[in-house]
Amino acid sequence: MGEPRITPRTFKGMRDFLPQEMLRREELFQYLRTVYQRYGFAPVETPAVEYLDILMGKYGSEGEKLIYRLDYKGGQVLALRYDLTVPLARLAAEHRDLPKPFKRYQMQPVWRADRPQLRQGRYREFYQCDADIIGEADRVADAEILCLIGEVIDGLGLGTAKVRVNHRRILEGMVAAAGLPQEAGPAVLRAIDKVDKVGEEGIEAEFEREEIPKEARGLLLEFLQHPKGGRTEIEALREAYDDSGIQEGCADLLRIWECLDALGAPLDRFEFRLSLARGLDYYTGAVYEAFVDELPHIGSLAGGGRYDDLISVFSPESLPAVGAAIGFDRILTALEQMGKTSERSTATQVLVLRFSDDDEAAALRMTGRLRNAGIATEVVYRHGKLGKQIGVADKRGIPIVVFQGTDEAARGEWTLKELRTGEQNVVPDDKVATVVSKLLRH
Amino acid sequence: MGEPRITPRTFKGMRDFLPQEMLRREELFQYLRTVYQRYGFAPVETPAVEYLDILMGKYGSEGEKLIYRLDYKGGQVLALRYDLTVPLARLAAEHRDLPKPFKRYQMQPVWRADRPQLRQGRYREFYQCDADIIGEADRVADAEILCLIGEVIDGLGLGTAKVRVNHRRILEGMVAAAGLPQEAGPAVLRAIDKVDKVGEEGIEAEFEREEIPKEARGLLLEFLQHPKGGRTEIEALREAYDDSGIQEGCADLLRIWECLDALGAPLDRFEFRLSLARGLDYYTGAVYEAFVDELPHIGSLAGGGRYDDLISVFSPESLPAVGAAIGFDRILTALEQMGKTSERSTATQVLVLRFSDDDEAAALRMTGRLRNAGIATEVVYRHGKLGKQIGVADKRGIPIVVFQGTDEAARGEWTLKELRTGEQNVVPDDKVATVVSKLLRH
């Protein structure tokens, strides 16, 4: 064919996943699936493509700029999904007969026309893994979600999961108490969202950047100095401010804490913190983000909140909702950094070796037999030297090789070699599968 | 919020998958994963978005029209993937250090701007589940793929898998032997592809439609009358025609049959059949499609072939390749028609019931305990009548309900009810998880 005509390349910010990484990813997906199901969530998938008007007006102006549109001449504008929450809201409004409360999980890629920052792990295509409860206004549903993300993170073995919790009504109350109009809300949220990064010294510059009036800053600072903590600190806030938003938000959070306690969740995992803002427009109640204390640099591994008004955009029936997204890629990065991921690039358990033109039929026959016994088996297609073939198996992480020389072939025997220990067994033809199964169980 | 502002709807030809269907899909994915891994294939994923020039020129002009493009102003044109084979070819050329032979499986959605025909199961978004071997020219690799798809289909319990096999070189030889130029190849393929539908009586009309010269038709018909079968029929064809393409194709197929035999595959599963054409442009060797005899109306459940020239479009190194795609949606449809899919719409094993405002804490505590014991558990958020709650559990397919009345609560006991049998057990608080686990094992 001569020179290649087309340079093989991938669009920046989107990734090929090769076997080593994919095996890790499949393992993490399976883990998440198990925990979600243990909490009573059922799977859902939605199309990659949504009508653009379904997506617009939900993510804030910055988010909307990042929606990929299709070049489609069908009269209506189509786009790739930006997250899994808005498609879920659309789905819940479209399939109105779904029994409520509807507890669903969903693990699918989303696309954002962002400037990719590969080192920071910001991609244009990445998976989201969401769990949401639709149709339950009682805050017991918030507690279930909080309990779930705490347990998901905790079960990874990365360290102790900590979940920071705040409430949109409290944040709105802060804005009102500081004498600012509600329109100033987003700017205040952006500023206080920086507190954990810039510290209280740096917050003044953020107020300046967000053009928050000087006379309001004192009260906002006072709020931010309110101690973080649990029930005691929520109750103290409720005592200190009359604002109806703050009253409502605190009552909600106390109800959530009550349910967390009843569910048996470790209460010291959850931290009420007024500096947690969380960006998305659609939240209306509690918001939260999960971290691992031992990995402060990695950022939040999960986050979510209550969004009681989103579905009514699509439905005459109002459907309260609450949910969380698990940061799949961040978790995988953290697991890799902690050396908690497998290095294997194959699930193959046995490689059948070959030394000459004459041993193909026997090797293929053994391969078929091992597979019939449920053993993941590959066979060498082109014969070669023993050492080289063992090297290939070892490099790929295949634990056992099976082969026969001419003499063994004449006697109907095979050599089984475990690569980890170097131990060898000579076994008759019809016992190979049984012995391999036994070795794999150890 | 008043009237909904946006009508919730999905783009025609794309689907939401609700829990009942998703649970079936996850089960089938898991089955495929297990068989692929047993045959030594490792997972890979590629981005949804590829540069358009990567995709163009591979699918034939009809296929190319169906590629969705993105409306992206980055100077280069982007598109959604149309299948998984061309992205794999791009990946293999881009990651040249992958150890060969590279055996990969991939299960991801693809997109086609086709006119959707929902009754015929033709969608604009659907999953492909592919297994391919890159970097092996020896036809033993073809045999591995053929063996795999036979076993995948057979293991579904739908009936006996039959795999029809033909060879592009033989088809090209037919065209040459009939005195036609190679450019007439696609038209001849299209015509003979219809034989199984229209019968030999109808083939004349197809020849007419495809403008195949009258003088060539006699020999083409003679070819099509060549008996279908196995080794004997391939050998007979080889004896009958001198053409080098036919000679090569027959030698290839005989080599494949030899390897299938050695691998222990049931040879009567594979049928050499000259009327199998298979559409895609990139095939160069053996082509095949798998059916289930008992389900003649459902069409092929898997198909594939050898494509030795595709990767060299992207790479200076020539990489022979062979693979197959499993028809995920068709298989699921067939399983549903045969009543071989589960009706459950949840993986939840226990529902904890509630009767009053006062029993929430106890119900949540029991829920937390059951989950800690690894049992998939949901709790009723709002209390109600016993019968109604049992009805909900039954309808959703939850096998066990757990509840306590006031008296039982005072004694620290719970009632466990198995919905299938109606049997009830009264069990002390700290034994509930153990007894539930035991019931679930039966």
Domain for residue B356, yes or no? Answer: yes
Residue A144, in any domain of the structure: no
The answer on B415 and B272 residing in a single domain is: no
Sort out which chain A residues have CB atoms less than 8 A from B25's CB and list them. Answer: 45
Q: Is B48 on the interface with A (CB under 8 A)?
A: yes
Q: Are residues B150 and B125 in the same domain?
A: yes
| Mean pLDDT for the stretch of residues A97-101 | 94
Q: Which amino acid is present at A328?
A: F
Query: How many beta-carbon pairs below 8 A join chains A and B?
Result: 279
Neighbouring residues of B95: CB distance < 8 A, sequence distance ≥ 6: A16, A18
Highest mean pLDDT among A76-85, A181-190, A264-273: A264-273
The domain in which residue B395 lies consists of: 350-441
Element spanning B333, H or E = helix B328-337
Do B159 and B267 lie in one domain? The reply is: yes
Each residue of A308-339: b (16+ CB within 10 Å) or e?
bbbbbbbbeeebbbbbbbbbbbbbbbbbeebe
Q: Indicate whether A4 pLDDT > 70.
A: no
Verify that A118 and A197 share a domain, yes or no: no
Output the tens digit of pLDDT for each of chain B's 442 residues: 445 689 999 999 999 999 999 999 999 999 999 999 999 999 999 999 999 999 998 887 888 899 999 987 766 799 999 999 999 999 999 999 999 999 999 999 999 999 988 877 789 999 999 999 999 999 999 999 999 999 999 999 999 999 999 999 999 999 999 999 988 888 888 888 888 788 878 888 989 998 999 999 999 999 888 999 999 999 999 999 999 999 999 999 999 999 999 999 999 999 999 989 886 678 999 999 999 988 888 889 999 999 999 999 999 888 999 999 999 999 999 999 899 998 889 999 999 999 999 999 999 999 999 999 999 999 999 999 999 999 999 999 999 999 999 999 999 999 999 999 999 999 999 999 999 999 999 8
Closest residue of chain B to A71, computed from CA coordinates? B71
pLDDT digits (tens, 9 = 90+) for A59-69: 878 888 999 99
Assess A108–B contact: CB distance below 8 Å, yes or no: no
If DSSP codes are grouped into helix, strand and coil, which group holds residue A181?
Answer: coil
CB-based contact, A265 to chain B, within 8 Å: yes
CB-CB under 8 Å, B147 with A5: no
Same-domain status, B125 and B267: yes
Query: B residues 197-236 near A, CB within 8 Å?
Result: none
Identify all chain A residues contacting B346, using CB atoms and an 8 Å cutoff.
40, 42
Query: Which residues 6+ apart lie within 8 Å of B14 measured at CB?
Result: A47, A48, A49, B123, B124, B125
**Cβ burial B230-248 (10 Å sphere, 16+ → b, else e):** beebbeebbeebebebbbb
Q: Which residues of B touch A360 (CB under 8 A)?
A: 140, 259, 262
What tokens does A374 get? Answer: 């449920």
CA-to-CA distance for B437 and B370, rounded, in angstroms?
9
Chain A hits for B71, CB-CB cut-off 8 Å, are 68-71
Residues A317 and A218 in one domain: no
Q: Are residues A337 and A362 in the same domain?
A: no
CA dihedral A113, A114, A118, A123 (to 10 degrees): -50
Q: What is the 3-state secondary structure (H, E, C) of A81-139?
A: CCCCHHHHHHHHHHCCCCCCCEEEEEEEEEECCCCCECCCCECCEEEEEEEEEECCCCC
CB contact set of A422 (below 8 Å; sequence gap of 6+) = none
User: For testing the chain B interface, which of A21, A37, A357 should be mutated: the one with the most B CBs within 10 Å?
Assistant: A37
CA dist A228 to A123, A168, A295, B208, Å? 33, 16, 20, 82
Contact between B376 and A38 (Cβ < 8 Å):
yes
From chain A residues 349-408, the ones with a CB under 8 A of any chain B CB are 360-361, 364-365, 367-369, 371-372, 374-379, 381-382, 392, 395-396
Q: Does B129 touch chain A (CB under 8 A)?
A: no
B360 → closest Cβ in A19, A45, A262: A262
Domain boundary among A277, A300, A332: A277
Question: Per-residue pLDDT averaged across A259-270, rounded?
Answer: 97
Q: How far apart are CA B112 and CA A49, in angstroms?
A: 12
Nearest to B313 among A4, A23, A91 (CB): A4
Distance from C-alpha of A27 to C-alpha of A419, rounded to nearest angstrom: 24
Contact A94 B10 (CB under 8 A): yes
A420: contact with B, CB 8 A cutoff: no
Kind and range of the H or E run holding A323: strand A321-326
| Cβ separation B37–A376 shorter than 8 A | yes
- Provide the pLDDT for residue B1: 42
Tell which residue, A264, A102, A20, A109, has the closest CA to residue B369: A264
Is B432 near chain A, with CB under 8 Å?
no
* Separation of alpha carbons A322 and A140, rounded Å: 10
Q: Which of A50, A51, A140 sits opposite B381 (nearest CB)?
A: A140
Number of domains in chain A: 3
B437: which residues sit within 8 A by CB, 6+ positions away?
B373, B374, B375
Give the type of residue at A233: E
Q: Which of A15, A21, A71 to mutate to test the interface with B (most CBs of B within 10 A)?
A: A71
Residue of A nearest to B155 (CA): A372
- How far apart (Å, rounded) are the C-alpha atoms in residues A89 and A308? 10
Q: In terms of domains, do B292 and B412 share one?
A: no
Mutate to test the interface with A, among B21, B108, B128, B263 (most CBs of A within 10 A): B263
Tell me which residue of A36, A48, A255, A225 sits closest to A141, measured CA to CA.
Answer: A255
Whether B126 is in a domain gets the answer yes
Who's near B65: CB < 8 A, 6+ residues apart? B113
pTM over 0.90: yes
Candidates B22, B40, B396; nearest CB to A376: B40
- The distance of B175 to chain A (nearest Cα, Å) reads 23
Residue B22: which of A19, A44, A378 has the nearest Cβ?
A44
A325: Cβ contacts below 8 Å, ≥ 6 apart: A83, A84, A85, A128, A129, A130, A302, A303, A304
**Interchain CB contact of B1 with A (< 8 Å):** yes
**A421 interfacial to chain B (CB closer than 8 Å):** no
Domain with residue A387: its CATH number is: 3.40.50.800
Report if residue B10 sits inside a domain: no
Q: Which of A256, A263, A267, A432 to mutate to test the interface with B (most CBs of B within 10 A)?
A: A263
Q: Is B121 left (phi over 0), alpha (psi -120 to 50) or beta?
A: left
Closest by Cβ to B47, choosing from A11, A99, A381:
A11
Q: For residue A249, what is the domain's CATH number?
A: 3.30.930.10
Angle between helices A328-337 and A19-38 (to 10 degrees): 120
B397 and B279 part of one domain:
no
Query: Which residues of chain A neighbour B149 with C-beta distances below 8 Å?
Result: none
* E-strand stretches of B112-201: 125-134, 161-167
Q: How many CB atoms lie within 10 A of CB A270?
A: 26
Residue A6 maps to a domain: no
Measured CA to CA, the distance from residue A287 to residue A268 in angstroms comes to: 17
Nearest to A54 by CA among B70, B121, B50, B16: B16
A265 contacts B314? CB cut-off 8 A: no
* Nearest CB partner across the interface for B18, out of A19, A44, A50: A44
**Residues of B whose CB is below 8 A from A47:** 10-11, 14-16, 125
Same domain, B253 and B376: no
Is B77 part of any domain?
A: yes
In this predicted structure, the answer to whether residue A1 has a pLDDT above a threshold of 50 is no
The answer to whether the Cβ–Cβ distance between B364 and A3 falls below 8 Å is: no
For residues A35 and B374, the answer to whether their CB atoms sit within 8 Å is no
- Give Cβ neighbours of residue A357 (< 8 Å, ≥ 6 apart): A383
Tell me how far CA of residue A284 lies from CA of A63, A186, B156, in angstroms. 18, 13, 47
Q: pLDDT tens across A376-427, in order?
A: 999 999 999 999 999 999 999 999 999 999 999 999 999 999 999 999 999 9
**Domain end residue (candidates: B277, B306, B337):** B337
Q: How far is A383 from chain B (nearest CA, A)?
A: 12
DSSP character at residue B227: P
Beta bridge partners of A17: B45
Task: Tell me what pLDDT residue A75 has.
Answer: 67
Cβ neighbours around B343 below 10 Å, total? 9
* CB contact at 8 A, B400 and B439: yes
A11 touches chain B (CB under 8 A): yes
Same domain membership, residue A273 and residue A192: yes
CB contact under 8 A, B136 and A396: no
Q: How many CB atoms lie within 10 A of CB B342?
A: 11
Instruction: Specify whether A133 is located in the same domain as A161.
Output: no
- Domain ends where: B337, B369, B401? B337
Residue B343: its chain A contacts at CB < 8 A?
Answer: none
Tell me if B139 is assigned to some domain. yes
Q: What are phi and psi of B222, to 5 degrees?
A: -60, -45
User: Residue B135's CB: how many other CB atoms inside 10 A?
Assistant: 19
CA distance B42 to A192: 46
Q: How many helices (H) and strands (E) does chain B have?
A: 16, 15
B100 and chain A in contact, CB less than 8 A: no
- Residue B78 lies inside a defined structural domain of this protein: yes
